[in-house]
Amino acid sequence: MKLNRFCTLALLMVSVAFIQAQTPLIGAEVWIEPGQTSAQIDGWFRALAEEHMPVARIFVMWSYVEVAPGEWDFSLYDQVFRAAEKYRVRVVATLTPGGPPPFLGGDGNQGSGYPATEEARNAAAEYIEKVVDRYKDSQALDTWMLVNEPGMAPAATEELPDARPQ
């Protein structure tokens, strides 16, 4: 009898864990920009937690962290990760290697596509390394998204080859 109850309880616990693992998490994108205060950022993450939204997607904008050539300022995103940790909100952090700061020829936005030149790729690699090294150990970090909406422009060919098996 005890074995039956134990097996039933164990099966129930496994079933509940499986169901919870299959439940999608609801969250929000939190757009972070220079000039936002610690209180604002804290309030957004508190609201997420209070509304049972345990995930926040953010963009770690290259132009917001490399403010001048070789000059890095992570204070804005440090506030984000502190607030996320405080309220136990998981962060999905999108990197923007295709959107360099204006002093590197970008427009300061998230950019589009991948860096086109070796020089641009090297600069993007440094940006990625700095950001990842800074936040990789944060308890709030859930996922790195290496680029927003990956894709590429259509090829300049007249006809696409038939990729179906013959």
CATH number at residue 42: 3.20.20.80
The answer as to whether 17 is a domain residue is: no
**Residue 76 near residue 134, CB atoms below 8 Å:** no
In the predicted structure, residue 157 carries a pLDDT above the cut 80: no
The answer as to whether 13 is a domain residue is: no
In the predicted structure, residue 7 carries a pLDDT above the cut 50: no
Tokens representing residue 81 in the block: 């990760």
Q: What is the average pLDDT score of the chain?
A: 84
Q: What is the pLDDT of residue 159?
A: 62
Nearest 10 degrees: Cα torsion 44, 143, 81, 101: -90
Q: How confident is the model at residue 123 (pLDDT cuts 50, 70, 90)?
A: very high
The answer as to whether 16 is a domain residue is: no
The answer as to whether 97 is a domain residue is: yes
**Residue 112 near residue 147, CB atoms below 8 Å:** no
- Higher-confidence residue of 151 and 121: namely 121
Residue 135's domain comprises 25-145
Question: CA–CA separation, 161 vs 166, rounded Å?
Answer: 12
Name the amino acid, one letter, at 143.
T
**Residue 137 near residue 81, CB atoms below 8 Å:** no
Q: What number of other Cβ atoms are within 10 A of residue 73's Cβ?
A: 13
Tokens representing residue 93 in the block: 């952090």
The answer as to whether 138 is a domain residue is: yes
Q: Is 98 in a helix, a strand, or coil?
A: coil
Q: What number of other Cβ atoms are within 10 A of residue 138's Cβ?
A: 17
How many domains does the chain contain in total? 1
- Higher-confidence residue of 152 and 143: namely 143
